[in-house]
Each structure stands twice: as structure tokens, then as C-alpha cells.
Amino acid sequence: MNYDASCPLTYADIVDAYFLEHRAKVLDIAAFLDRLERAADGPAEKDDFRVAALREALLLLSDGDGERAKRVLDLLSDATETMPQSAANAKFALGAAPEVGQ
Amino acid sequence: MNYIEPHGHMVSRTTADYERMALAGCVAISEPAFWAGFDRDSVKGFYDYFRQLTEYEPARAKKFGIAHFCWICINPKEGDDPGFAREVIEIIPDFLKKPNVLGVGEIGLNKNTKNELIILEAQIDLAVKHNQLILVHTPHLEDKRKGTRIIMDALLNHGGVEPDRVLIDHVEEHTVAEVLDKGFWAGMTLYPETKCTTQRAADIIEMYGTERLWMNSACDWGISDPLAVPKARMELKRRGHSEAAIKRLTYDNPHTFLSQSPNFNLPG
Ligand SMILES: [Zn+2]
């Protein structure tokens, strides 16, 4: 894998090209977390496992290490090795593994 | 600039989409067999679908100067019923003889079940026995990494599979390296909600190079964009990637992989 200097754009070019779009995405996440607190039945006592995984992913984004996209996907991945016999006994894919953030 | 859409479910698209793709430079489409959004009730349902892929879609595409190719299989979702799936597999060899068929696909796993694996292994064997290319579907969410690993094990454990005749699709940042390292081709699916955005696809290309990698739109019945590949080309251009590199990813690479089938011939 080629990580360092692999994007042809300069740092300033990347900021100019993409900043506003990602500013908006951060605001979406912030508003989503606010919305959970404003839920009609009140905020949950314990986070849904998907929300817990999302909060863990957000921490990972600011830990200073690289390969964030890969590490977020790894964090959200099913790490079990067992296979159900059929889809009837399989859980619906929900975007995060229940083990994460528990 | 001409491009190839190497994974597009055109049975789900309007004729106007064919026109828009042609206007954007699409010269060829390869269409894998997939789940239609509902489970089919009989083998005859698959027979009709395979006829649609081998007879009707090529005619629809031809009106816009697009060459249409396809892949035949029972998809992993409906493969979860092994008894029924084996009946469908019995009618596949006849369709593999059709002139626009490139191989067996998209086979793989959906919920990573033992039943799906039984039918995946049966179709890997079918492809090897008929000397066909293989196109692989991988699960989309938390089950992708696990599913991709089980699929690669099944392919390599067969003993008769040449990895450079297999493309594993829907890779993301956590699966692309393993797929390429094992010698398979890898596909990135540009899909707005799950899978990969054009920006992330460009990032993956920058980190992992342009070898044995392609991009596709899937453009199925879900929220998807038949112009995703030309949009990804714009993203690469905006970042300053060379015309040659963009052509390699969106024309030369799919051309090279698909040309391993004697049925893949482009006019001109
Ligand atoms: Zn597909």
C-alpha cells in the first residue's frame, strides 16, 4: 500500500476542494446525535449497539493514527467465525456488529 | 472518452438510462445475474430471467451502440435454499453457451450461511468445469470482511481456480488489500449509501494502484446511479490523475479482465 503523498493534490487543494462538504457531514452527525436525545420517548438509557459503535468510530477519527476508513470498517465488522445454517437463523445486516461498543 | 460499465443491472434501468450512458461514453456493459428484489418461485422464473439477460438486454443496448454482455448464476440470496438452487444450476450450462455470456456470476455470499456456501462451492465447480470466468458478490455491511474471507477460501480450496480469472466485487478499504494480495481482481462499486463513494474509490486507487482494479455503478433497483463511473472519472481528473490512468481504470482494466472470455469482443 502506498500511503504517504499518494494523493496528487496539495494539502491546501484538498482543504479547498472538500472542506465544506465534510463540514456539512460533521454537522449531520452532530444533529443525528442531538435527535437521539430528543426522541419522543426520551433518550435511551443505553445506546443501541449501532450508535455505540458510531461513537467508538468517532473517537478513532481523532486518535492521530492513519488508515481511518479501514479502521472504521474493521471496527464495524462482524468478527465472529461461526456460520448459521440458513438465512432464517441469520441476523439482518445492520451496519455494525453487536459486539462493538458493548 | 470511452468507458466500460463492468457491473450494471440493466434489467432494472429504463431505456433512457441506456441513452444517458451512451452519451457519457459507455461502449460496453457487463451485467451479472442477481436477486430481483423478490425470491423467484420456480426454475422457470430463472429461465425467463436468463433469457432476458441473453436475448432482450443485448437488443436494447444495441440501439445505443452499446455492446451488452452478461453472467449467469443463481445469486447468493436465493442460493440459501440449496434444493431449489440445485434445480436452477441444472439449467445454467445451456445458457453458458450463449454468445454474450462471459462467465458465472455474481456468485458469493449474502448472509454468510452454510447453505449459501454449499451453493457457492457448487457454482465455483460449475465455472471451473466449463472453463468460465467468475464474478463474485460480497456482502455489504458488517458481514463483508468475514464473507470476503470465506469466499476467497472457497475459491482457493477448490484447487482448479486461477485467481486472475476471478473478480471479487464490492471491495472497500478493509478488504481490497487481501483480495489483491491473493491474486484476484477487485471491483469497487460506486453506490451512494452503502459500498463506496467516488471520492473513496479515488482514495483507494491512490493507495492501492491501478492494477487488477475496476470501478462499477451496479445500477440496480436500489438507490444507485448509472453514471457513477463517468462521475468517478471526473473525480480522478479533478485530482490531477492522468488521462492514461483514468482510461486504464475505466476501459483497459475491464477490457483486459473480460477479454479472458472468448465471447468478449468489442466492435472496432
Ligand atoms: Zn450486482
pLDDT in tens, B55-65: 999 999 999 99
The predicted structure's pLDDT at residue A100: 61
The residue behind cell 458478490 is B137
Nearest alpha-carbon partner for B152 in B138, B142, B132: B138
Residue B192: pLDDT over 80? no
Q: Is A30 on the interface with B (CB under 8 A)?
A: no
B117 Cβ contact list (under 8 Å, min separation 6): A83, B109, B150, B154
Overall size of chain B counted in residues: 268
CB of B201 closer than 8 Å to CB of B208: no
Q: What is the 3-state secondary structure (H, E, C) of B131-169?
A: CCEEEEECCCCCCHHHHHHHHHHHHHHHCCCCHHHEEEC
CA distance A24 to A17: 13
Closest residue in A to B200 (Cα) is A69
Q: Is A18 on the interface with B (CB under 8 A)?
A: yes
Q: Which residues of A touch B115 (CB under 8 A)?
A: 85-87
**Residues B88-111, mean pLDDT to the nearest whole number:** 98
CA distance B256 to B263: 13
The predicted structure's pLDDT at residue B186: 98
CA distance B46 to B59: 19
Q: Where are the domains of chain A?
A: 7-43, 46-74
Point out the residue among B114, B141, B199 whose CB comes nearest to the CB of A94.
Answer: B141
CA distance B132 to B119: 17
Cell digits for B31? Answer: 451485467
Label residue B212 left, alpha or beta by phi (over 0 means left) and psi (-120 to 50 means alpha): left
The class that CATH gives domain B3-258 is alpha beta
Q: Which residues of A touch B240 (CB under 8 A)?
A: 8-9
When pLDDT is cut at 50, 70 and 90, the band that residue A64 belongs to is very high
Sign of CA dihedral B10, A93, B165, B158: negative
B31 Cβ contact list (under 8 Å, min separation 6): B7, B8, B9, B10, B11, B53, B57, B68, B69, B70, B71
Residue B134: pLDDT over 80? yes
Q: Which residues of A touch B140 (CB under 8 A)?
A: 93
Predicted TM-score (pTM) of the model is 0.96
User: Which residues lie near ion ligand 1 (Cβ < 5 Å)?
Assistant: B 34, 218
